[in-house]
Amino acid sequence: MRKDARVTASERQADISARHIPVLLDSALDLLGAALTTDSPVLVDGTLGLGGHSEAFLTAFPHLKVLGIDRDTSALELARKRLARFGPRFVGVHTTYDHVDEVASEYANGAVQAILLDIGVSSMQIDERERGFSYSQDAPLDMRMDNTQYLTAADVLNTYPVEELTRILKEYGEERFARRIAEKIVARRTSRPWETSADLVELVKSSIPAALWKGAGNPAKRTFQALRIEVNAELDVLRRTLPAAINSLAIGGRIGVMSYHSLEDRIVKQSFALGTSSRTPPGIPVELAGDEPYLAAITRGAAKASAGEIADNPRAASVRFRVAERTRSTPAQMPQGATR
């Protein structure tokens, strides 16, 4: 029985991998590919997932080496199998993408020509019921992108005080009824602990007036997003990642970031704005040496998916893709994680 269950899980993962459609693939190849013109270019796929983007880049650029980063050991295993035919041109690394500078240092002498970040939960994580990311089916409240870490969504629901739960729901989920939901979560756990997602969905529905969500999708979406961000420290990791990634680019190298909600996109937008702005104080007519921008925007604002792509891949509907090119060294006094 156990052996059959393992085979079934393996077959399900293989099916997910086969059905995976990389978001904005043509745009990524075009916008980042312009930086892959050196003899032996290196691209860091900081969110490897099932390897769809990496496979396309390795196919399109025969001399390219890809360093694929993922915190999800299951996804990393599948991607390694998928990309095995490329031999040493692909290297898979189990870590979070805020360690991009360490990966670049170890495998590319510290400077790479392109970095791609496709942020957020992957298709496989959503489709695997037991991971607990989806609010549309009952599952254990897990939500860990890296199943070797200790904190789960159930831990958050069963241990965080009302004030902290309220903050998370309001800040990470932009939930209008955060306090009401948080109070009900804490009240309910006094009688029995939180274990499965269906119970949480029902609690959220009971906390929000039906007139505000009927016909507008599942009202638990914002709560699940908030919990996922908290469990995986997604925004903190992203804030650390961007300066480390920019510092890992060779001059003329490009970074592209795909984000799926306003919280992520705001951090990316601020980080790129910092790099594309002069640091010369206002009122000084001549730009001071060393105060020039160290990034140049490649996309005007954020690129979005076409109607055709959204029809083929609904996940692409909310994507915002920003690309910038490194034009010079980053100022030494710029602190890591700065996104002002």
- Structure tokens belonging to residue 219: 């009202």
Give me the mean pLDDT over the 320-337 stretch.
76
pLDDT digits (tens, 9 = 90+) for 169-216: 999 999 999 999 999 999 999 999 999 999 999 999 999 988 777 666
Answer whether residue 30 shows pLDDT above 60. Answer: yes
Choose one of 234, 252, 267: the last residue of a domain: 234
Domain finish residue from 208, 234, 260: 234
DSSP conformational letter for 152? -
Asked if residue 240 is part of any domain, the answer here is yes
Are both 111 and 259 inside the same structural domain?
yes
Binding residues: 51-53, 70, 97, 118, 125
pTM for the structure as a whole: 0.86
Q: Give the pLDDT confidence score for residue 288 in this predicted structure.
A: 58
Domain containing residue 35: CATH number: 3.40.50.150
According to DSSP, residue 64 is labeled -
Strand partners, 70: 94
Residues 114-132: pLDDT tens digits? 999 999 765 555 555 555 5
228 and 241 within one domain: no
Average pLDDT over residues 267-296: 80
Q: Is the dihedral of CA 126, 128, 131, 132 positive or negative?
A: positive
Domain region containing 31: 2-124+235-326
Do 196 and 245 lie in a common domain? no
**pLDDT(250) > 50:** yes
Same domain, 247 and 197: no
Q: Is residue 12 part of a domain?
A: yes
Confidence band, pLDDT 50/70/90 cuts, at residue 295: very high
Asked whether residue 317 falls in the same domain as residue 281, the answer is yes
Cα–Cα dist 280/286, whole Å? 8
The residues with which 66 forms a beta bridge, in sequence order, are 43, 90
- Rounded distance between C-alpha atoms, residue 136 and residue 262, angstroms: 22
Domain identity same for 103 and 27? yes
Does a structural domain hold residue 339?
no
Binding residue numbers for S-adenosyl-L-methionine: 51-53, 70, 97, 118, 125
* Residue 32 pLDDT: 98
| In a domain? residue 130 | no
Task: Give the per-residue pLDDT at 128.
Answer: 56
Question: Does any domain span residue 85?
Answer: yes
Same domain, 156 and 56: no
